[in-house]
């Protein structure tokens, strides 16, 4: 192998390690995505905008699939009121910090 191809392979490995988590369309994942399970079922199949999702904490700790519409506001409201999410995270203060993370990041930018 010549040194030029070795450099290209090394740089591609570095760039793959430093990439952030993204969806297939190139958007960054929403920070609450790790706390839900997104299904393939659409709310309205004629307008495939919204999918259903399940609360991961409810499913792991209670074995119930709590169906939620995969919208930021609705997921956030469910997690705010979810006892199992608070138990899984540890404390209510930690859960509030996770749920208000987006507001904290926008206030830092201003």
pTM: 0.66
Establish if 16 belongs to a structural domain. no
Establish if 15 belongs to a structural domain. no
Establish if 97 belongs to a structural domain. yes
Q: Express each pLDDT in 40-96 by its tens digit.
A: 888 888 877 889 999 999 988 888 888 999 988 999 999 999 999 999 888 888 888
Establish if 9 belongs to a structural domain. no
Number of domains in the chain: 1
Measure the CA dihedral 27/28/34/36, to 10°.
-30
Segments forming the whole domain that contains residue 87: 28-109
The model's confidence at residue 3, banded by pLDDT at 50, 70 and 90, is: very low
pLDDT for 53 equals 93
Q: Which two tokens stand for residue 62?
A: 């209670």
Establish if 6 belongs to a structural domain. no
- Asked if pLDDT for residue 15 goes beyond 50, the answer is no
Q: How far apart are CA 63 and CA 10, in angstroms?
A: 45
Q: How far apart are CA 87 and CA 30, in angstroms?
A: 22
- Helix spans in the chain (H): 3-18, 56-62, 72-81, 83-89, 92-99, 101-109
């Amino acid at each position: 192998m010549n040194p030029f191809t070795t450099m290209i392979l090394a740089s591609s490995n570095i760039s793959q390690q430093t990439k952030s988590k993204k969806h297939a369309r190139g958007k960054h994942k929403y920070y609450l995505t790790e706390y839900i399970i997104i299904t393939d079922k659409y709310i309205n199949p004629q307008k495939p905008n919204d999918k259903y999702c399940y609360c991961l904490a409810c499913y792991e700790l209670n074995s119930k699939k709590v169906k939620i519409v995969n919208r930021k506001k609705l997921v956030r409201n469910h997690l705010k009121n979810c006892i199992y999410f608070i138990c899984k995270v540890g404390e209510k203060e930690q859960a509030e910090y996770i749920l208000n993370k987006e507001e904290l990041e926008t206030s830092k930018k201003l």
